[in-house]
Structure 1
Amino acid sequence: MAAVLLSLALGALLSDGAGSAPFGGLGNLSPLSPATVATPGSEPISLVVSPDGKSVYVGFEYGGAVSQFSRDTATGKITALSPATVAAGREPRTLAVSPNGKYIYAANFGSNNITTFLRNPETGKLTVHGSTVATGTDPHGIEVSSDGKSVYVANYGEATISQYSRNTETGALAALRPATVAAGSNPNGIAISVDRTSVYTANRTSNSVSQYSRNAESGKLTPLSSATVKAGANPHNVAISPDGRSVYVPDAGETTVSQYSRNTETGRLTALSPATVETAGSARGVAVSPDGASVYVANGTEGVVSQYSRNGETGKLTALSPATVAAGAHSYSVTVSPNGQSAYVMNEEGHNISQYSRARVPTVVTDAATAVTQTSAILNGLVTPGGLVSECEFEFGTSAAYGSTVTCTPSLGFGASPVPVSAAITGLAAGTVYHFRVSATNVDGTGAGSDRSFRTVAIQAASSPPAISAAKLTISAVRLTHRLFRVGKQPTAISASKKPLGTSFRFTLSAAAKLQIAITRSAPGLQHAHSCLAPTDKLKRAHAKRCTRTLTVATLTRANVPKGADSVPFSGRIDRRALSPRSYNAVLSASNAAGRSKPVTLSFTVVRR
């Protein structure tokens, strides 16, 4: 039979109900104690957190050093290292960190070059690594692509972007040809989309945002056909949502933040309606939380941070309550930690850093019910715990008022990775519609998924033929055409010189059924009670036993698969994003009204191009 290419999207829509959008990530900031930490340099304006969350580094408007701090991964509090600073070029205003956390880069505004630092992963201390690399005039923004292969610098004094290739092993930079591409007047901030296909700069005096496509192989930038889009007055910076669908630009001259939708295919920006949202003052810095639920804006001379919730579907911002939290004198920029637990604000004239905890209500998705019979069903969901989850349950009943609850399994700990949960319910009435949703609670509040429904199997009249075969449902002859492959737009045949692009799942069903393919990977963990959790400093100090976690990357669903042999091509992409090179498992199972087949597990490996 003709193969059908499945839509590989996390939380894919299922046949028995609309997809439910994640709910959670309250996002309110609360000052830590102490509320501020002094910086050893003059006028701090930028901050980066290492990917492991253990280190914080600060760049300054003046002077010739970068300050370095350790960060408590449990509380988010930062403490100056000894020595507190490490020498850089003149006026190291902005910093960037490599994806593996091994290298830190400082764009030196006063000396027109980049200093590279090697980071000690145990202590977090920096040492200068190699020679400086020349930039254009007055570099004021620097970013490393998420694949680690490219570095880009916004040259404020000459309206260009410097572009470099980066050696992912040594961290060394080499100027591309051409070494620069044109930007608007006084490009002040720069950002790279998570999918690495687009780059944007905020141009302060031309009141615009430059937009570029990025070549995945060479790293070279090409202006889009519409090279710029209009921004407000004096745009200072750029931030992109983790899903790549939204872009935000703070407009210091209009006390607003501009909000745009981003076409994930072309990278082009389109102003939302309304095009701007009010801030509390001269907006300078902007950050989007890693869960995409919150946006924060540092408001310059007003010394406060504006905080917003973000609509995951439209990208539009809505002020939280309270709309602002206090910061220090002339708050210049804001950064959210990689795990979304903490936020930090650079107070330029206060010469200090404001530090906050961030409320993280669990992010919850209600998934489709499975194994539905006349009297029973399995309820499913996906929970990203955030803080330690104290309660997880499914509500269910014959209306959206529910009336009954059942506890989720497995029990949840804490962390930023989504965890599949489920619960079996029995004693249902045949031929009846039931509503259900999943909810989870941590110290910051409760996140609840959207309502979904299913209908139990009706009782058949004695004279009616059975709706399904009584034979046990099986999935057999399961195999992959390629267990080692590269990611491609479409699966292709194997070539003589390279590994094949993509693969295909092949299988045979004993009866018509719904097919699910769960893509999973293994990750190290530490034992806590009966759960295997992501490693934390607390668990390490407790000498917890090592264990292996299984993380679900995506679930592929095909609602109606006929009896017999079939196949599903798989390009190695999920929602247009390529799987990272590593080993994975694919768990294939089928279900219909008669029950669920025994799952079959296959392993495969995605290799680099």
Structure 2
Amino acid sequence: MMTRKNNWLLTAVQMGLLAWSGATLAADKVYVANEGADTVSVLDAASFKTLASVRVGKAPHNVQVSPDGKVVWVTNNGEPAQTADASEHKEMAQGSHDAMGKPGAVWAIDTATNAVVAKVPVGMHPAHVVVSPDGRFAYITNGGDNTVSVIDTAARSLVATIPVGKFPHGLRISPDGKQAYVANLKGGTVSVIDTASQKEIAQVPAGKGPAQVGFTPDGSLVLVSLSEENAVAVIDPATRKVIRKVAVGTVPIQLYVTPDSRTLLVANQGTPKKPGKTVSLIELESFKVAKTVVTGAGAHGVVVDREGRYAYVTNMYANSVSVLDVKDRKVVKTVPVGKTPNGISITP
């Protein structure tokens, strides 16, 4: 029999959990790098409304929220005044992925205030940024000099520069934090970095135009978008070999696996003349495309929330973000953002 004291305690705990849950949901935000506007859009993940637009460096290409949700890292090409001619990067945003050949930076935004709190120089033409699961290091691909920069997130300073393959672009860190996989866009390979030694330990032949990599949360598979093959390569991380390929839409760029490791979402960007407007949903048990969802012109970046309920997709040529209901496999909202939205990240 439950006593009044125990009943009161249970109620208090339940109310506390509800309050904590509500606070967490209210705090969830989506960050979008608007490459053509030199801004980062901040969206409320619950209402899908735009909360803020943060001015950053020239041509921000990618964003990543830290594991504790306190900082957003943004790759860009430094102060706008120092990089007035972004024509080459603009071409990259439209699909050519040519390097600018100019030094870049990664900036840090405080999520509580939306203020830029750090600016760290990195290599030439920084593309993507990821943060280690423990939050200690940020890894940035430098397409212009074929390296990956490693930043100490607490000191906000460069601690290592790792040579990798030709024109590194997208990268992700394994769920256990021990390795980083890097898609070498013009090298046709995926570099494997040992995060303990901060060195490249292997290059895996993947296919034509590898643009981004993704891990299943259980760590059993590595997925690689092949932008020049209209396919996704599946790599076994144990053998570091491609075990199969799955056909998707035209010029697939970013991809993301749902938290249950069952479904892979692939954004099919297409080209400026023939924009892709879809996201392929691949069931990883069968490696079959279960659904192709129409989003917007130039579908490029994709991220899935922690519950696996919604996916957020940047539409580069439509200047918008599509909100995709993962279970129902349909777009439920389209949110206008800045010009040429590219990378996208959500509160962990």
* TM-score over 0.5 (shorter chain): yes
Q: Structure 1 residue 127 and structure 2 residue 98: aligned?
A: no
Task: Write the letter of the residue equivalent to 2:32.
Answer: V
Give the match for residue 303 of structure 2: 335
Task: Write the letter of the residue equivalent to 2:200.
Answer: P
Task: Write the letter of the residue equivalent to 1:166.
Answer: T
TM-score normalized with structure 1 length? 0.44
Q: What are the within-5 Å matches in structure 2 for residues 169-184 of structure 1? A: 172-176=155-159, 179-184=160-165
Partner SS for 2:211? coil
* CA–CA separation in structure 2 for the residues paired with 1:51 and 1:145: 23
* CA–CA separation in structure 2 for the residues paired with 1:58 and 1:280: 23
Partner SS for 1:297? strand
* CA–CA separation in structure 1 for the residues paired with 2:165 and 2:34: 24
- Which of the numbers 63, 75, 78 marks the counterpart of 2:37? 63
Q: What are the within-5 Å matches in structure 2 for residues 344-493 of structure 1? A: 344-359=312-327
Q: Call closer, same or farther: CA 1:52–1:100 in 2, change over 3 Å.
A: farther
More helix per residue: 1 or 2? 2
* Deviations, residues 170-208 of structure 1 (Å, cap 9, x unaligned): xx42211xx311111110101001100000110111111
Task: Write the letter of the residue equivalent to 2:42.
Answer: Q
* CA–CA separation in structure 1 for the residues paired with 2:255 and 2:114: 26
Q: What are the within-5 Å matches in structure 2 for residues 303-318 of structure 1? A: 303-311=277-285, 317-318=287-288
Q: Structure 1 residue 295 and structure 2 residue 264: aligned?
A: yes
Task: Write the letter of the residue equivalent to 1:134.
Answer: P
Q: Structure 1 residue 240 and structure 2 residue 215: aligned?
A: yes
TM-score normalized with structure 2 length? 0.76
Task: Write the letter of the residue equivalent to 2:158.
Answer: A
* Deviations, residues 505-543 of structure 1 (Å, cap 9, x unaligned): xxxxxxxxxxxxxxxxxxxxxxxxxxxxxxxxxxxxxxx
Partner SS for 1:238? strand
* CA–CA separation in structure 1 for the residues paired with 2:146 and 2:257: 26
Instruction: Give 1:269 deviation, angstroms.
Output: 1.8
Aligned pair count?
277
Instruction: Give 1:118 deviation, angstroms.
Output: 0.9
Give the match for residue 241 of structure 2: 270
In the alignment, is the contact (CA less than 8 A) between 1:51 and 1:99 conserved in 2? no
RMSD (Å), alpha carbons: 1.9
In the alignment, is the contact (CA less than 8 A) between 1:109 and 1:140 conserved in 2? no
Q: Structure 1 residue 144 and structure 2 residue 113: aligned?
A: no
In the alignment, is the contact (CA less than 8 A) between 1:110 and 1:138 conserved in 2? no
* CA–CA separation in structure 1 for the residues paired with 2:235 and 2:278: 24
* CA–CA separation in structure 1 for the residues paired with 2:128 and 2:198: 16
In the alignment, is the contact (CA less than 8 A) between 1:250 and 1:283 conserved in 2? yes
Q: Compare CA radii of gyration and give the structure with the larger one.
A: 1
Q: Call closer, same or farther: CA 1:110–1:278 in 2, change over 3 Å.
A: farther
Partner SS for 2:212? coil
In the alignment, is the contact (CA less than 8 A) between 1:52 and 1:101 conserved in 2? no
Give the match for residue 273 of structure 2: none
Q: Call closer, same or farther: CA 1:331–1:110 in 2, change over 3 Å.
A: farther
Q: Structure 1 residue 286 and structure 2 residue 255: aligned?
A: yes
* Deviations, residues 553-572 of structure 1 (Å, cap 9, x unaligned): xxxxxxxxxxxxxxxxxxxx
Unmatched 5+ residue regions in structure 2? 1-23, 80-103, 271-275, 329-348
Instruction: Give 1:146 deviation, angstroms.
Output: 0.7
Q: Identity across aligned pairs (percent)?
A: 29
Give the match for residue 204 of structure 1: 185
* Deviations, residues 479-501 of structure 1 (Å, cap 9, x unaligned): xxxxxxxxxxxxxxxxxxxxxxx
Partner SS for 1:132? strand
Instruction: Give 1:115 deviation, angstroms.
Output: 1.0
Instruction: Give 1:63 deviation, angstroms.
Output: 2.9
In the alignment, is the contact (CA less than 8 A) between 1:53 and 1:339 conserved in 2? no
Give the match for residue 10 of structure 2: none
* CA–CA separation in structure 2 for the residues paired with 1:205 and 1:231: 11
